[in-house]
């Protein structure tokens, strides 16, 4: 029969009021067969609205590869010795000259009096708020909530990281506000409507999972951190663009 293997997300984004999702679905079969896949259902959630879209039916055909086992295997031809020309000798003597030069330099290096080198301390890198948020998401990833089926904790800590980013970048206590209040504050800060729509969908999904109103799929849970990074990157670009235009 036909075995389902994996589903990988190639693209998952929203643009011009459309949600685009490209998936790579892998199957395996070990004999000649024709399997018609009627459809795949995908659930899209935004706010309190749910939309189910289905793929068109498609046919998977698997055929074995025929091998002629009656023919004998032939031996490989023995290696042929190629005579050396002037280029090969040039490479040989050039390599010997390089080795001799390296030996001489090493000898000079260890026979000279060592010079005390001043150790210059490496400058301390100051992380941006975006980079600090990425580190927080890495910590959430290491906790492996999804492996232990703790979707509530996973969605809660990822969304709290995004709220923390809003606090330090836009200067309002998002962690203490509701999703509606956070959206209102971002709108007052002049954030673009495209970003606000993404924030609304992102935080609403977290609220629904935290209050047991929605059970996310494995694919959606696995992509939630990537969605947080993409959302904060858009905010970071928006802030940088407005700073340069001032």
pLDDT in tens, 3-57: 777 777 757 667 776 777 777 777 777 777 787 877 777 776 666 777 777 778 8
Q: Is 171 a member of any domain?
A: yes
76 pLDDT above the threshold of 60: no
- When pLDDT is averaged across residues 107-132 and rounded to a whole number, the result is 76
Q: In the chain, how many domains are there?
A: 2
- Both 230 and 137 in a single domain? yes
Question: Is residue 89 in a domain?
Answer: no
What are residue 157's phi and psi, to 5 degrees?
-70, -35
CA distance 228 to 225: 5
Position 58 in a domain: yes
Specify whether 146 is located in the same domain as 223.
yes
pLDDT in tens, 196-235: 999 999 999 999 998 888 888 888 888 999 999 999 998 8
Q: Is residue 35 part of a domain?
A: yes
Residue the block writes with tokens 């589903």: 7
- The Cα–Cα gap between 151 and 24 comes to 24
pLDDT at 245 over 60: no
Evaluate whether 9 touches 219 at the Cβ level (below 8 Å): yes
Q: In percent, how much of the chain has pLDDT > 90?
A: 31
What is the spatial distance between Cα 99 and Cα 106, in angstroms, rounded to a whole number? 11
Q: State the pLDDT at residue 18.
A: 73
- Higher per-residue confidence, 113 vs 187: 187
**Which range has the worst mean pLDDT, 11-15, 112-116, 151-155, 156-160?**
112-116
Is 244 contained in some domain?
no
Report helix, strand or coil for 63. Answer: coil
> Residue 95 domain-assigned?
no
pTM score:
0.49
Beta bridge partners of 27: 4
- Of 39, 62, 85, the one marking the end of a domain is 62
| DSSP characters over 195-214 | HHHHHHHHHHHHHHHHTTS-
Classify strands 41-46 and 49-54 as parallel, antiparallel or unpaired: antiparallel
Write phi, then psi, for 47 (nearest 5 degrees).
Answer: 65, -130
Vertex 153: Cα angle to 149 and 25 (nearest 5): 45
Find the domain containing 10 and state its range: 2-62
Instruction: Indicate if 138 and 213 belong to the same structural domain.
Output: yes
User: Would the pLDDT of 114 be above 70?
Assistant: no
d(CA 29, CA 65): 13
CB atoms within 10 A of CB 165: 22
The CB-side HSE value for 61 (13 A sphere, CA atoms) comes to 2
Domain end position, chosen among 62, 88, 105: 62
Closest by CA to 151, choosing from 95, 104, 220, is 220
> In angstroms, rounded to a whole number, what is the distance separating the alpha carbons of residues 2 and 159?
39
Query: Does one domain contain both 220 and 134?
Result: yes
pLDDT score, position 244: 58
Out of 92-101, 102-111, 191-200, which region has the weakest mean confidence (pLDDT)?
A: 102-111
- Vertex 160: Cα angle to 159 and 162 (nearest 5): 65
Q: Is residue 176 in some structural domain?
A: yes
């Amino acid at each position: 029969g036909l075995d389902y293997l994996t589903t990988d997300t190639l693209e998952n984004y929203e643009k011009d009021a459309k949600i685009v999702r490209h998936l790579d679905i892998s199957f395996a079969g070990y004999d000649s067969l024709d399997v018609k896949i009627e459809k795949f259902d995908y659930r899209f959630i935004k706010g309190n609205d749910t939309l189910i879209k289905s793929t068109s039916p498609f046919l998977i055909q698997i055929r074995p590869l025929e091998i002629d086992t009656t023919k004998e295997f032939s031996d490989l031809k023995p290696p042929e010795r190629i005579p050396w020309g002037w280029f090969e000798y040039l490479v040989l003597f050039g390599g010997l000259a390089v080795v001799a030069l390296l030996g001489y330099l090493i000898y000079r290096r260890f026979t000279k009096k060592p010079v005390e080198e001043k150790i210059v301390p490496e400058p301390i890198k100051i992380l941006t708020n975006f980079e600090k948020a990425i580190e927080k998401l890495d910590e959430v990833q290491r906790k492996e909530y999804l492996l232990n089926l703790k979707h509530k904790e996973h969605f809660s800590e990822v969304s709290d990281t995004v709220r923390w980013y809003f606090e330090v970048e836009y200067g309002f206590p998002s962690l203490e506000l509701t999703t509606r209040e956070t959206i209102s504050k971002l709108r007052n800060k002049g954030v673009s409507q495209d970003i606000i729509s993404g924030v609304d969908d992102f935080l609403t999904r977290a609220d629904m999972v935290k209050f047991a109103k929605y059970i996310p799929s494995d694919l959606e849970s696995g992509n939630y951190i990537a969605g947080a990074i993409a959302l904060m990157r858009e905010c970071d670009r928006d802030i940088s663009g407005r700073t340069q235009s001032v």
